[in-house]
């Protein structure tokens, strides 16, 4: 069975699902089977809520303040388990909840999931990847034609109701594109974080 929780750079991550509605060119799962201390992040079958809770109960959170939903798939594709386990992590272990997402949850679920996330999520990190629709579609290869616009609208909506919202790009982008990304993020009322590509 794949690891549900894993530690990387001192942070604890939840690998909730292998489902994803993108096929990013740079996705780490096309190059490696694992990250951090996980043996593998490929599930034979996505974990149930009970399995996620059991993995949390087996983890030592004494030095941890935050639980990050990331892993080898898009966490919002498993929205029910995301919400159920995040609530559990918060209530039982006093953890802050961060979700790293591609920002396409509203398209995937065909409804506005932002108010649902806002019930328990403290921080959202949305992959901008590229500052123009053309490059975004080329790099992210999403299932939806209107993914870029939907991701921007999702970001703006999160910014209104979730305490910390950031967009991210990786540091291999040309400087001008990073700057364009920063302006775009600021126009939506959020910050841009430039993360290193590992």
State the minimum distance, in angstroms, from the CB of residue 169 to ligand SF4.
12
Cross-strand bridge partners of residue 27: none
User: Which range binds ligand SF4 by CB under 6 A, 20-28, 31-39, 113-121, 173-181?
Assistant: 20-28
Integer Cα distance of 77 and 63 in angstroms: 29
Nearer to ligand SF4 by C-beta: 88 or 166? 166
Nearer to ligand SF4 by C-beta: 62 or 196? 196
Of residues 150-179, those binding ligand SF4 (CB under 6 A): none
| Pair 88, 48: CB distance under 8 Å | no
Residue whose entry in the numeric block shows the structure tokens 């995040």: 86
Integer Cα distance of 102 and 108 in angstroms: 11
Binding residue for ligand SF4 (CB under 6 A) from 23, 48, 132, 187? 23
Site for ligand SF4 contains 73 (CB under 6 A): yes
Of residues 83-102, those binding ligand SF4 (CB under 6 A): 102
User: What's the length of the chain?
Assistant: 198
Number of residues that bind ligand SF4 (CB under 6 A): 9
Of residues 33-72, those binding ligand SF4 (CB under 6 A): none
State the minimum distance, in angstroms, from the CB of residue 63 to ligand SF4.
27
User: Which range binds ligand SF4 by CB under 6 A, 5-13, 18-26, 54-62, 112-120?
Assistant: 18-26
User: Which range binds ligand SF4 by CB under 6 A, 17-25, 38-46, 131-139, 175-183?
Assistant: 17-25
Integer Cα distance of 177 and 149 in angstroms: 18
Site for ligand SF4 contains 24 (CB under 6 A): yes
Site for ligand SF4 contains 75 (CB under 6 A): no
The CA–CA distances, whole Å, from 126 to 1, 54, 63, 102, 152 equal 28, 28, 26, 6, 9
Integer Cα distance of 129 and 102 in angstroms: 9
Binding residue for ligand SF4 (CB under 6 A) from 7, 8, 11, 27? 27
Integer Cα distance of 197 and 62 in angstroms: 29
> Virtual CA dihedral for 179, 183, 184, 187, nearest 10 degrees?
170
Integer Cα distance of 185 and 156 in angstroms: 9
Q: Which residues bind ligand SF4 (CB under 6 A)?
A: 20, 22-24, 27, 29, 73-74, 102
């Amino acid at each position: 069975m794949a690891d549900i929780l894993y530690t990387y750079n001192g942070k604890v991550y939840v690998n909730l699902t292998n489902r994803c509605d993108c096929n990013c060119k740079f996705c780490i799962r096309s190059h490696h089977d694992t990250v951090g201390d996980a043996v593998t992040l490929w599930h034979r079958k996505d974990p149930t809520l009970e399995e996620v809770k059991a993995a949390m109960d087996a983890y030592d959170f004494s030095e941890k303040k935050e639980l990050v939903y990331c892993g080898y798939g898009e966490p919002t594709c498993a929205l029910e388990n995301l919400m159920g386990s995040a609530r559990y992590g918060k209530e039982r272990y006093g953890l802050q909840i961060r979700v790293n997402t591609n920002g396409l949850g509203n398209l995937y679920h065909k409804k506005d999931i932002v108010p649902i996330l806002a019930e328990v999520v403290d921080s959202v990190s949305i992959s901008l990847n590229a500052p123009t629709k053309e490059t975004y579609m080329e790099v992210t290869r999403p299932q939806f034609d209107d993914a870029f616009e939907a991701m921007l609208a999702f970001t703006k909506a999160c910014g209104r109701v979730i305490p910390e919202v950031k967009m991210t790009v990786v540091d291999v982008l040309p400087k001008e594109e990073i700057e364009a990304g920063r302006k775009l993020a600021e126009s939506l009322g959020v910050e841009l974080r430039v993360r290193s590509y590992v």
